[in-house]
Amino acid sequence: MTRAHYGWAFFVFIIAFLISYLIFFHTVSSFNTRIWMIIFIISVGAGVVSFLAERFGGIAFSEKIGACLGVFKRMSAVDILVGLGGLIIGLVVGVLVSYPMSFWRIQNPSIPMVVTLVSGGLGFSVFMARREDIVALFTGVPKMKLLRGQKGGNKILDTSAIVDGRIADICKTGFVEGDMIVPRFVLKELQQVADSQDPLKRSRGRRGLDILNKMRKEKRVAIRIIDRDFSDIRDVDAKLIKLGMVLGGKVITNDFNLNKIAELEGVEVLNINDLANALKPYVLPGEELRIQIIREGKESDQGVGYLDDGTMVVIEGGKRHINNTIDTVVTSVLQTPAGRMIFARPRGKHVTG
């Protein structure tokens, strides 16, 4: 049971109270104890039903409200002005449309109010849907993305991506836009790893914390730590996927399993390993490479070397050139899930390293 459940129930109580009051205000000549009691019972009933629906029925109203509020937080001043203009025009149209209703034989004061509110909502929706055209009409500015952060969006950092460290270098280049969100439960996991008795795990955890501190000092990207948690979910990966669904953000990770599960759940994933593979230079059969052979290959007479970007190069007949740098000719390129692998053969005499 969380504060969000009580907050949502109280919100519904207030809304139900106001709506009930307005309805009775337009339908009865005077208020008495009985009317106030009916309004109170309706309001309390609406609050209790909403609380039970979210607490035990699995209907996450508060999460939906939070997601909507997140959208409004990212709205620019232009968006707000356009939406406000649409709301005002819609209300005016609603008043003009509802005026003839006052001459109907069937007098129901609530009908004009409903027509006015619906017209205001329609005006707001239409103006927000066509805000780019409206701004272009009044300012002459070409169509543009007016929702701040829409292009970059929120990026949710996974523990594996933080410990890896390459995300800090990527952010430093300016290729990543939008806020970098670090959930509190990810920070807790990093802290637990940093306090581990295992020296390797402890080193990885401390490295992750150092990477986060480095990213916080970087002006090109904004790091936001949020306290949002899902107490009914224990697994950190499942919490990340749930958070991505609620915020509509993208999860940055190096975890292959998390990548696949998130895709099944419909959450967009940015995998740093995929980015690294995509940025590796592509070579064609017949091109020449100068490679330092550092060890034997799996097959007999093979030697293995690496390009500057870490791409493995397998040289047929390169075993006798170990610890030497030789000129090679690419024979084939193999793309694997782990990355790109190049096969080559020696060309000419070797040059000692």
- What pLDDT, in 10s, does the model give residues 97-135? 877 776 766 566 667 777 778 888 888 888 888 877 777
More confident of the two residues 347 and 144: 347
Contact status, residue 312 vs residue 342, Cβ threshold 8 Å: yes
- CATH fold of 155-278: Rossmann fold (3.40.50)
Residues of the chain with CATH 2.40.50.140: 280-352
Q: 55 or 294, which is more confident?
A: 294
What integer pLDDT is reported at residue 256 of this predicted model?
Answer: 85
Q: Which two tokens stand for residue 242?
A: 């749930």
Give span(s): CATH 3.40.50.1010, the chain: 155-278
Can you read off the two tokens belonging to residue 206? 């401390």
- Residue 145's pLDDT is what? 44
3-state secondary structure of 44: helix
Q: Work out the pLDDT band at 55, boundaries 50, 70, 90.
A: low
User: Residue 7: pLDDT above 60?
Assistant: yes
Using CB atoms within 10 Å of the CB of residue 97, give its burial: 0 to 12 exposed, 13 to 18 middle, 19+ buried: middle
Per-residue model confidence as pLDDT tens digits over 189-209? 989 988 988 888 889 889 889
**pLDDT above 80 (res 280):** no
- Among residues 65, 86, 83, 87, the alpha carbon closest in space to that of 147 is found at 83
Looking at the domain that runs over 280-352, which CATH code has it been given?
2.40.50.140
